[in-house]
Amino acid sequence: MTIHKEGYTTIALSVLFIFIINAIVDYKFSDIVWLRWFVYILSFALFVIVLQFFRNPSRTFTTGDNLVICPADGKVVVIEETEEGEYFKDRRLQVSIFMSPINVHINRNPISGVVKFFKYHPGKYLAAWNPKSSTENERTTTVVEHQNGTPVLFRQIAGALARRIVWYIKEGDQVTQTEQFGFIKFGSRVDIFLPIGTKVNLQLDQVVKGGITVLAELS
């Protein structure tokens, strides 16, 4: 397992913060042993939490021309038909994956193809499970056209804790299934919009892994 590049600055700042807090406690409260040990333990726990958030575990990925692979780790919170109003402007099958702070937060391309549309939206930081987060939170929208002509839309959505969405793609790019297309820091959600009638291989509340779990099959 390695540490993702998006974590380098955050981890460095966390180490600096922990060092300063411990130095202050050691200087001001050197005679209060229990308080010092409490801060030491809390500091260690904070460091471990930040470190695990930015982990980049080694994986054997699942690929397939007609497969849609989960773009993120997390839990399936939505499988429903809905109106997609930004790009398609018609009814689509929506699958949403909630990423808690303990999940790996790397986002991966669900299919291979050409990026036909990309847009970043600044916005609010509602809880990621709030239905309005799809349209009101900070987010990105990406549409990749499969080689068979089927467009798949996927959306990074910031959550209540997330304060930065990172993306590595732009319109016109040729992307490869399971390769990284972005990263969301500290709790978030990814929505995928598929054609009505697409065979979905997931169930509500199912735990999935990005780049491994098969989300759906394209016809």
Locate the domains of the chain by residue range.
Answer: 2-56, 67-217
Q: Which of 163, 187, 217 shows the shortest CA–CA distance to 72? A: 187
Q: Name the one residue in this structure whose structure tokens are 């690929």.
A: 63
Q: Strand 67-69 and strand 174-175: pairing?
A: unpaired
The CA distance from 45 to 48, in Å, is: 5
Backbone phi, psi, residue 6, to 5°:
-70, -15
Tell whether the model's pLDDT for residue 53 goes beyond 70: yes
What value does the mean pLDDT take over residues 103-111? Answer: 94
For the segment 206-214, the average pLDDT, to the nearest whole number, is 97
Beta bridge partners of 163: none
pLDDT band at 29 (very low <50, low <70, confident <90, very high): confident
In whole numbers, what is the pLDDT of the chain averaged over residues?
90
**Amino acid 55: pLDDT:** 86
**Model pTM score:** 0.86
Residue with tokens 């600044």: 122
Q: Which of 149, 135, 147 is nearest to 189 (CA)?
A: 135
CA 116 to chain centre: 21
User: Is 188 among the residues known to form the active site?
Assistant: yes
User: What average pLDDT does this structure show over 41-54?
Assistant: 88
- Report which of 216, 201, 207, 194 is spatially closest to residue 93, judged by C-alpha positions: 194
pLDDT, position 163: 61
pLDDT tier at 31, thresholds 50, 70, 90: confident
**Residues 173-192: what's their mean pLDDT?**
91
Residue 210 pLDDT greater than 60, yes or no: yes
Catalytic residue among 43, 133, 134, 188: 188
pLDDT, position 27? 86
Nearby residues of 72 by Cβ (< 8 Å), 6 or more positions away: 97, 99, 103, 104, 105, 106, 107, 108, 190, 208, 210
- What's the CATH fold of domain 67-217? Glucose Permease (Domain IIA) (2.70.70)
